[in-house]
Amino acid sequence: MKVAKVITTTFVPRTVREVTGLCGMPMGYFSHSQNFTTNESIIDLIKFTLETESLCKPGEVVDIIIVNNDSGWQEGIQFLNTIDGKSLGFGKIRVLNRQNIGRSFGGYNHAFKMLRSEYDYFIFTEDDILVSRDGYASLGIQYFNQTKNCGFVAYQSISSIGLDYCTEDALHAHGGVGISHVHVLDEVVRKYGALPHADKITSQEYVDILKMGEIPFTNKIHKLGYRLTSVPEDIKLYDFAYDMMRGIDIPRFPSASRRVLTTAKMKAYEYKLVRSLYNLYKSIK
């Protein structure tokens, strides 16, 4: 059994979010914190990712596939060249470079098409979501195989909302983070020509990355008749990198009281007067 963990990255500064927030339905802590504001900080992030990987026991032999959505920063490419082929104890590092089309989901498609004949299972994640807790591979495979007609096991959660789509079109795994089998992914490619992503003739704006990438990436698996599921609520196989760097362990889901309070706030914010008062408060603060 061979497992590939595809990690997408790009040497581009990201928007700062100091606090991991709630989103999705069911609601969970999936709007993750991040603070990587320079190209150099992305190198530090990748080093941290590989360090956490080397310290965990995935339960299976796992090759780490780093897909660089190339920004043109040569220092980043040079760094990736120095780690390409290195062993991590439970597998090796492989680096793929590509044009930055479709962001992470374009990277997932590229890695799968390049390596589909070499691996049985594919785990997908981004560079700032560290799937590196003990058993992340063996448990993912276990949950996949014990779920009838499984197509994808989400490591964060399955959400039933997204943009203005109906539930049938919105059902997807948060961030596309999770595991699937090569046979399922092969069927997606045969049906749609690729793993879903915003291609080169499509806008690369964030909303289009969601429309063409994050939501359909696993929704198309659902549309083929497979089941989307997630690991049990009491199991956590990932950490958000910026939180982990600060020693913060965020749960997957909020308490019942926090969920009720957040839902009430979201409902209140739908009213124009409430939004105006809130924005006034923020400007004074």
Distances (CA, A) of 204 to 104, 165, 211, 216: 11, 20, 10, 15
Set out the domains of the chain in order of their start, with CATH numbers.
3-252 (3.90.550.10), 255-285 (no CATH)
**Is residue 250 very low, low, confident or very high in pLDDT (cuts 50, 70, 90)?**
very high
Tens of pLDDT, residue by residue over 205-223, are 888 898 989 999 999 999 9
Global pTM value:
0.94
Share of residues in the chain with pLDDT > 90 (%)? 80
**Is residue 281 very low, low, confident or very high in pLDDT (cuts 50, 70, 90)?**
low
pLDDT value of residue 150? 98
Establish how many alpha carbons lie within 13 A of residue 209's alpha carbon, considering only the half-sphere containing its beta carbon.
Answer: 14
**Is residue 260 very low, low, confident or very high in pLDDT (cuts 50, 70, 90)?**
confident
pLDDT value of residue 278? 60
**Is residue 162 very low, low, confident or very high in pLDDT (cuts 50, 70, 90)?**
confident
Pairing of strands 239-240, 129-130: antiparallel
Give the chain's mean pLDDT.
93
274 has pLDDT over 60? no
Tens of pLDDT, residue by residue over 64-78, are 999 999 999 999 999
Tens of pLDDT, residue by residue over 87-122, are 998 999 999 999 999 999 999 999 999 999 999 999
